[in-house]
Amino acid sequence: MKKFLKVIGYLLGAVVILVIGAVAFLQFGFPKVDPAEEITIEYTPDRIERGAYLANHVTVCMDCHSTRDFSLFSGPVAEGALGAGGEKFDQSIGLPGVFYSKNITPHGISDYTDGELYRLITTGVTNEGRPIFPLMPYPSYGKMDSEDIYDIIAYLRSLPAVASDIPDSKADFPVNLIMRTMPQNAEMTKKPSPADQVAYGAYLINASGCKECHTQVSPQGVIMPEVAYAGGRSFPFPGGAIVSSANLTQCPDTGIGNWDEATFVSKFKQYADSGYVNPKVAPGEYNTIMPWTMYAGMKEEDLKAIFAYLKTVEPITNQVVKFTPSSE
């Protein structure tokens, strides 16, 4: 018996050593990305203007990195909160941890060089070498045109500095270790010509992150590519109501297979009307996390290109109940 217990002790000791070794390997061996490049961006008016368009209406960086007022339909950005961060994303929406959007005004990014900020946006690694959870779709941004990322950085540098105190994000175990392996070197591309409408639409829909919300996620919080764009990802609201994302595939019964280009564009542009005011929404009433008023500012030719790309997406049957009121 003593010999048996001794063997068990050795085995347990070996397991402990292996676990410690594995944790140390992940902790110190990852993330594996190249050092930040030495980049100096000219903050020209043209760059800032293009960056403002991208950050507010295409990549919608300002959606997550601002406080949104969900007492109004679609949660427009609260006054004075543009870029100040502080939005909370946690287990209630299927994420493996508690994550807070960071302050991306000059107050929050002043300690980043242009090269470090570029690496953060495109690979998900901070200037301290820490990985961020891909709630921010840096894998998508890492496939954009470098010039577009430069434009976004120029715009962020031009924002008024807004002070905010943001809590640290914290991933649950073991995702806090697994996420160290997620960042990869960016694979930047050249933006296709708008004349190639489908290719240009594919570029824009990647930049816009539509797949992130319109695809269900695994228990680890990672989108499931086999049901890309089929909708059904649920987002709870305070009080217990749940809104679910729409099916964007070409399924004629449960998706947008019967839509035409004009219907798609008008769905967005109705919120760009100069007379539109986000209506008040009482707790428990239908609301949405979809930042309609931000995407409504997208150019019509860009919306048309996205629609042209969506017409190529294979149909997936997935009947989505877009709103479930609280049972309380």
Q: What is the pLDDT of residues 191-220, one digit of tens each?
A: 999 999 999 999 999 999 999 999 998 876
Structure tokens that stand for 305 in this block: 């290109």
CA pair distance 167, 183, nearest whole angstrom: 22
- What's the predicted TM-score (pTM) here? 0.90
> Other C-beta atoms within 10 Å of 39: how many?
16
CA pair distance 204, 200, nearest whole angstrom: 6
Residue range 137-154: mean pLDDT, rounded: 97
Kindly list the distances between the CA atom of residue 211 and the CA atoms of 116, 230, 237, 258, 313, in Å, as whole numbers in the listed order.
Answer: 26, 9, 21, 20, 12
**pLDDT tens for residues 267-300?**
999 999 888 999 999 988 999 999 999 999 999 9
Residue type, 109: I
Structure tokens that stand for 18 in this block: 């292996």
Q: What angle do CA 265, 269, 274 make, to 5 degrees?
A: 165
The percentage of the chain sitting over the pLDDT mark of 90, rounded to a whole number, equals 79
Q: Where are the domains of the chain?
A: 37-189, 192-328
